[in-house]
Structure 1
Amino acid sequence: LNPKYQLIITETLRNEGISQQNRVANILGIGMGAPTIVEYGTPEQIQTYLRPMFTTEEIWCQLFSEPGSGSDLASLSTKAVDDGDGFIVNGQKVWTTLGHLAKWGLIVTRTDPDVPKHRGLTFFIVDMESDGVDVRPLRQITGEAEFNEVYFTDVKIPKENILGSLGDGWRVSLAILMNERVAIGGNVRERGSGAPGHLVQLWSDKELDDPVSRDKLIKLWIEQEAVRLTNVRAFENREKGTPGPEGSTSKLYEAEINKASYEFGMEMLGNDALLFPRGYALTQPELNFENETFGFTDTQSLFLRSRANSIEGGTSEIMRNIIAERVLGLPSEPKLDKDKAWKDIPRS
């Protein structure tokens, strides 16, 4: 759908009380995978993957970051080797959200080490239930393990699972990243939802009436509303296709507002902020949460989880670089390895 119409449909469903849980449970599929498959996928891929993705019959994950390749994604080393009727994948991915629940993964691999790092990549759709896929939980500061590390040992991926074309993985990856930032920061939420909405409820529950704190609460609510309205405008102005740098702007401000909001929430709790109602038992999220915080409802957990908002999906520093280069027209940082073959770039 044209984003303008998708916005109208989403708001209509929400106003009628219809759950948006599918978008929360399968944010990586619906928010990032679906628009990229529509743009780069074959008709067969579109027919096969989109409906079970939207109904959450099949959960998706994103397989980008590696222990040695985070912000510099193009330096990744997970290899895919052509064996005739498919590709054999070996390597490790990390920070894979909901990887323990996923049926399908969006994975970028290196298929040609003899060309510069951005040109030797290929994008695949991988069956997470394939032989050789090992998913291990990563425990967070909240005690939960929503992230995972994933090991690939001689995993076979058929050639029909290439998304885009051979060697064109960087272009597809950029589309995924742009869609990710829109999904994280540019999603048009209901007015008063999210972090400021949580603060308003907390303020009411605590029966506070401090004018200084009230002013801070109102300021945070206004800032969140400004981001929400900016997202509405971006959706209305955007035609079908890959988002532009506006996703980076929204993602940056959303992360900073979330962090500031939950910091203020901890201030409102006073001494109770030292308590942790959920405990630190290792758990992994299931598909039964109805909000946008992976099931967290207490301020303490939300505060701890918000620390990652300025890291995941692209750090705030990277977002500022994108805004500087693509919006303000400032020169980019020099890239000394731009024309070197990947195999010739020194790595630790």
Structure 2
Amino acid sequence: MTSTSESNAKHYLFVPQGIRGHLRPAIHTIPNLLARSPNALATILVPVGHHQPAVKEFQEYSLDTDERVKIVYYGSKETETDGNDKSHAKTNLEGMMVFFNDIVKVLEENYEKIMKGEPIYDALLNDEVSTHARSPDVVLVEVQTTPFSVPICEKINEKLGKKVSMALWTPISGNYTAWCACDPYQGRAYRHRVEEMFKAPEEDRTKVYNEQLGENEDVVHVPDNAFHVFEAQPNQPDNFINIVLGCIPVLPRATMVHSWPSFLGQEYKKAAAELGIKVLQIGAQLPDHSEKEAALVDGPLKDFLDKALIKKGEDSVIYIR
């Protein structure tokens, strides 16, 4: 006989961006979910190019051997010049766009199979693997893929007659996406400010961009780049603009899930509610670092940041932990 808790347990499907600031909090959310709902199920789709760093995180909580968790790798393996698999995580724009396209492709090819409990292809094993018999109740897709991934899922959900809660996985810089959608600047919404920028002649584009969206000239470049980089304006403004504008029409149809490290607060929640956008701020999803783990080792990065802490202006920085 099935218990009430078992019948009410949910199946969560995670489809995060492959870059580490998005993937790592998603991995660590799974044990937090299972700790609160032991009968829950989870499936996570991971770019095979990131399997080496990802598997260490899975093993930390024995998720790789937990029957409640399905880990499926997709995409193409990356190799170093010596023929060995790459073990580092991409963080640059080019890498992001590769993962962006891969997410859309993996959903097109496999989402319906996952909903039906059918086997899907695993790129790491080079073979088909089983999926959970229960179809997902909650699907968390990368916020940057919203214009494509959400309609793909919605269409298949309707075809199969499935009632699924759609959520947007929104960590790290995705929180800027949220504020762009919610926060009017001098009474002007983000969409309207971007439209003004696009109206400007090409030769005036940068000037108008800075007037409408804020300055982006004083970017501090740190040697041996730190794990997390926070900035109010991305280095690739045109790319960011297109992502945000594409997300805005879909936002009312899904819940934005904000994970570590950002907490946007009640003001943001109220602003989102006024626009008809549902938000869920789930807090820290990574384990606390010990002082030793969090400390900077002696070297050019530590020297640079130590000096920058006492400077003012464009060369100044603050530590965010």
Specify if TM > 0.5: no
TM value normalised by structure 2: 0.29
Which has the bigger relative contact order, CA under 8 A and spacing at least 6?
Answer: 1
